[in-house]
Structures are given as structure tokens and as C-alpha cells.
A and B are shown apart, each in its own frame.
Chain A
Amino acid sequence: MKWLLVAFWSVVILSVALLIAAYMIWWERKFAGRMQRRIGPYWVGYPHGWLQSIADAIKILRKEDIIPKNADKWVYNIAPFLFMVPPMFLFAVFPFSKTWVVADLNVGLLYVLAVSSLGVFGVMMAGWGSHNKYALLSAMRYVSQMISYEVPLVLSALVPVVLTGSMNLGAITNAQKGLWFALWPVVGWVAFVVFLLATLAEGNRAPFDIPEAESELIGGFAVEYSGWKFAMFYVGEYVHLLAVSILASVLFLGGWRGPLLPPLLWLFIKTVFMYSVLLWIRWSFVRLRVDQLMVFNWKVLVPVSVVNLLLAALWVVLR
């Protein structure tokens, strides 16, 4: 019977996650609009465009599904699924409150990091199956970027693990009773900043959004997709962002911990805060070039995060 309950809660959480992803798009457009001295969506679902996301979803699902003549059919068609589905698996291990988590894995963080990198396959397949040089260039850049930025992501995510002694996300949240990991002197600050940057790169957001660099390679790896398949890429990106925002809140900002308000609300507030920081960076910076991106990763982020991890480990040993 337990599996029935798990199945039910999974469906609920996934539906809520997709709905939130749709509204994250709305939040981004409002936030970006205000940064650019304009309003953003306003009329659809007056006031403030509450229904804009729904309208866009309906529109994009009704578009014609155009498949290029020379596209590799199987590869081309499966790619969007492979991109959108892995981030959804991540919601299984997030603790929404002290007792509420779908799958309380002891290796929760390992599971998260492993599954989130499956999206790369979707992009590679999209780039190859599209039979388009631009898509291929973009997919190659994406793959190199993803693989490279996994390293500082993992190294900085390991700092909370080292400080807690467990990979269980619930345990990591509990260990932040006194002080959030993001606020731990030096070790926490550095880890948080490195994690933030690596998340930006993994999530394909500016200034690291080379794969979908619109002004150079037009649509990037998704250039030959239209209609609902493109929607899957788009929604997949936002589900991934939602998942990593929650992850950052859990790992560094104390998850559901907080006085007075219910734990779910705290998690929601922290996630929105993290997401807004990512948006803020995206809409202010110009883009890095691919080789500069790699240089930044290997010559700056990786050494910093290695040293940081060693310091954290040293602290734990000496305690």
C-alpha cells in the first residue's frame, strides 16, 4: 500500500512543481520588466497578468509540430523528454518540513547531483538530431559547460555534507539549527557563492548562457523545435531552476527552518529569494565567451572550491 501513497504524493508534487515552474516564468517576466523600467505582463488576467503563463502554455501547445526533413527521428523526438524529466526526479528527496519528504534517502545529495546531470543527454540528442550546424555548435558548448561546472558544483555542495556528516538532505536541514550554512564564516560564504555561480552555469543562465546565446546561435540547441517539444525544453529549464533553487535553500539557507511561519512557507520564501537572485544576475550581465567561461571555471572556481572544502574538512577534524 505504501507505494500507492508514494505514487499519489509524487503526482501531487510534480503537478505543483510544474505549476510553480509556469509561474516562475511569470515572476521572471515581472521582475525583469521592473528592472527595465517597464511593467511586464499586465493585461492577460488583469491586473498584473496572472493568467499570462496559462495563456502562453495554451498557445505553445497548440502550435504546429514541425520536424526537419533530415532530422534523425528517434533521437530528435526523445530529446525533449530526456531534458525535461530528470529535474522532476529531484523533488523526491527535498524535505518540505521535518516529517514531510517523499523519499528520505541516506544519499540524498548524491542522488540529486547524479540525476540532475542526466539532462545533458537530452541536449546532445537535440543538437545531433536536429541536423543543424547551429544546434550542433550549441550542444557541443552546452556539454562542455555542463561537464566543467559539475566540478565546482559538487565540491561546494560537499561543504554542507562535510559540516553535517551526512548526505541526507533532512539531516543537513536539521544541522542548520543554529546558523545557516551560507552564513558560516569564510567556509560557508565561499561555498555559497561558488554554488551560486555553478548553479547559474548548470542552469544555463546568463552570464553563462552560451548554449542558447540568442544573438549568436539564435535558439541554441532547441532551434529546430517548435510547439510542445519546445515547451518541454523551456519548462524543463524552469523546473531545473526551481529544483536547484530549492536545493540551494536546503543546503545553505536552512530549508524549512524558521520561526513562526509554517515550514513550507519558509521554504517557499527562501526558494523565491534564491530564484530572484539568479534572475537579478541574469538581467544585469552581458555574456561570457566560451573560452572565458572555461578559464573561469578551471582557473578560478575549481581551485577555490577545493581549498574551501579542505578548510571545511580541517575545521570538522579539529572540532
Chain B
Amino acid sequence: MATRTLEFTFDEMRVNMGPQHPSTHGVFRGVLVLEGEEIKDLIPHIGYLHRGVEKLAEHLSYVQDVPIMARNDYLGPVHNELVMAHAVEKLANIQVPERAQYLRVMASELHRIASHLVWTGTFLLDMGGALGGGSTMFLYLFQARESIMDLYEEWTGARFHPNLVQIGGVRFDLPAGFDRKVKEALQTVRNTVNEVREMVEGNPVFEQRTRGVGVLSPELAQSIGCSGPVLRASGVAYDVRKAFPYDAYDKMDFEIVTATAGDVRARYEVRINEIFQAAHIVEQALEGLPEGPIGAKPPVKAPVAVKAPKGEVYFRVESARGELGAYLVSDGSHKPYRLKLRSPSFSNLQAIQHLVRGHKVADVVVILGSLDPVFGDVDR
């Protein structure tokens, strides 16, 4: 019987949380440098989902680019379409009719709710395991999200990537009887989220796993460029919808949700409260929806139809993950000269190296989940 000598020291062990992992929210590779159970360092490797969207955008016209952008942050597609369309509209000075603005707000907020439902579900799934308490809550939240998917299917024909936004307005108008369905869907979402909150908040196991874990100070958050719920959970009240309002957000009444602790629990609370705020905004948008056209011009069929004058613009929207920006340089033709997407997940994910030092292995998954990276957004 062959024996092997025991060559195992407890000083430093490198464990690869490879790109294929049930809990890294996509393709993320982190090399953990461990000392026992404690993490000394995490070396992140990204780029597994890099599709060269920015280069591709230079070869397609503006009209063709808008639906391509939806595939970046695939959990909140409308925000990506919106930022591209807005950048072009600002350059080319195209006015968006009011009805389209309200519809855009409604679509944005519905996708924000859907994205946060996914986040909460997968966050609890990471903590509880695919076989265990996490998956119960995950399934409840996904069932609630189905009601939003049904809304989209009725509105645009696609459950998820709606191809809703076009340059100059919105492509599809609301079908008849839609506001009743929206109200029902929102009520389902509210009930499910409250049910999950009852199960989870106050549960001592959940408390222990999330309080005091992964504390991000506001100075570091700003220096890195974290935005969205990550920044707001550290106490900085910055929301693009209030700071640089676009579409009909200046007519909506909502609060910026913040928390002060800056730990995983704070980010969880911010996102849960944002779901309720977003539902409130959708209801306001429905009530205040004016009549009128939904697109500045008749639906665009030819891909070369929109031209932007020479110049550059930076436009930002608040996606579910933070500040999503498009820096667009135009040379006067129907294609962008350079499109840079400032993705919130790319900046938020940078914080992971600072946050996990000193924590245990089990916390990596929780902290990574709380930053809510979507790798389509990180890698573009």
C-alpha cells in the first residue's frame, strides 16, 4: 500500500473559486488566499463574459445598437436601452413625447423590481444552499417575479428583453386593461416580499450572517466609484434619479433609500425598500399617464435613419445596480464613433478585494452577493 507524506501546512492555501461556481452570480473567478478559514486576500479575475460590445457598437447604427445594449445588464435590460437612447437623443436634440417618458419610467421601475427580486432570491439561495431554506425563499420570489414577466409579455411580446425603448420614444403602447393587471402584479410582489421579510428578518441565523459583515466605508465607496444600493447603504444619499433627473422622474414623488451601517444587512434593507419605492413610482406613473404619441417619429424601420451631429455627450441613468452611464462620441454619421459604457457593476465589483479581507470563506459568497454584480455588465 503506497503512502504519501503529509505535506500540508496551515500557513497559506490558495483556493480557486472558479468561473463555474453556483454562487458567484455569473462567471467570476476569485483566487482566495486562505489561512485556515480566514481570507488574507482575494485576487479577482473577470472578463469571462467580455463580448466586445463597445467595439460592436461602432459598427452598428444607433438604431441597431439600442437593443444590443439590453444584453449588457441582462437583469435590467430597459436601463441599458434607455441610456443608449437618451445619449443619442441628447446629441441629436430629439424631444421625447410625454407619454413615452411616463412609459419609460414605468418600464424602468418594473425592471428595477424584477432585478431586486432576483437579487434577494439568489442572495438567500447563496446563504441557505440549493437544498435548504434559501431555495424556498428563492422560489417564492421568482414566482412573484413571474407576474412582472407576464406584464411584459403582454405589453411587448417578450418576457425579458423587451426591445421597448427606441430612439425618440417607446416602441409599444399599453394594451387595454393594463393598469388593473399592473396593480395586481404589484400587490403580488408586495405580499411576497413582505412574507419573505417575515421569514428572514429577525431570524437569528440571518442576523449573524449579515450584520457587521463586509462593511464598506463611504470614503472608500466614493473613491472606488460604487453607486446605487452599495453606496446608499453606506450613508451617501446619491441617486441619479434625483440628482440628474431624466424622463418623468422630476414629476414623481419618491425617497432616496439609505442606510448607515454599510454592511451586508444594510444593502439588503436598501434593496428591499427600493422595491416598495419602485412599486409606488409605477403606480404614480400609471395614474399620471398623459395621452399622446409614444415616439417622436413613426417607428424606425431603416437602420440608418437616425443621425447624430458631431459632438460628445455623457448620459447617466439609475439602473438597479447603480449609475449606468453612456459616453458617446459622434462624428456626424449614423454610427457611433466611440461608445463607452460606464457600468455600475464594474465599479462596484472592485470593492470586493477590500471587503473580504479578514473574513471567513463563507462570507465571500455573502459579500459578493450583496454587491450584486451582473457579469454581463461587468465585462460588457
Contact = CB atoms under 8 A, between A and B. Distances in A.
Interface in B113-132: 124-132
Interface string A200-240: 00000011011001111010000000000000000000000
B4 A72 contact: yes
Given A37-B140, A137-B15, A216-B23, A287 B132 contact: yes
Contacts of B360: 289-291
Interface in B282-325: none
Contacts of B130: 214-215
A283 B132 contact: yes
Interface string B1-37: 1001000000001010000011100000000000001
Category for how many chain A residues contact B: 20 to 34
A287 B15 contact: no
Interface in B208-224: 208-209
A287 B127 contact: yes
Contact of A292 (B1, B126, B203, B208): B208
Interface in A239-291: 282-291
Nearest to B126: A215
Interface of B is mostly: helix
B43 interface: no
Interface stretch (B58-66, B148-156, B361-369): B361-369
Given A215-B22, A218-B21, A286 B203 contact: yes
Nearest to B200: A286
B129 A215 contact: yes
Contact of B362 (A32, A133, A290): A290
A216 B133 CA distance: 15
A37 B132 CA distance: 15
B37 A290 contact: yes
B253 to A, nearest CB: 35
Contacts of B132: 206-207, 209, 282-283, 285-287
B136 A35 contact: yes
B56 interface: no
B139 interface: yes
Contacts of B135: 36, 283
A13 B46 CA distance: 55
A284 B129 contact: no
Nearest to A207: B205
A35 B132 CA distance: 11
A287 B129 contact: yes
A26 interface: no
A130 to B, nearest CB: 13
Contacts of A2: none
Contacts of B139: 36-38
B136 A213 contact: no
A213 B37 CA distance: 14
A46 interface: no
Contacts of A282: 131-133
Interface of B: 1, 4, 13, 15, 21-23, 37, 124-136, 139-140, 143, 199-200, 203, 205-206, 208-209, 360-365
5 contacts: A36-B140, A74-B1, A216-B365, A283-B133, A284-B133
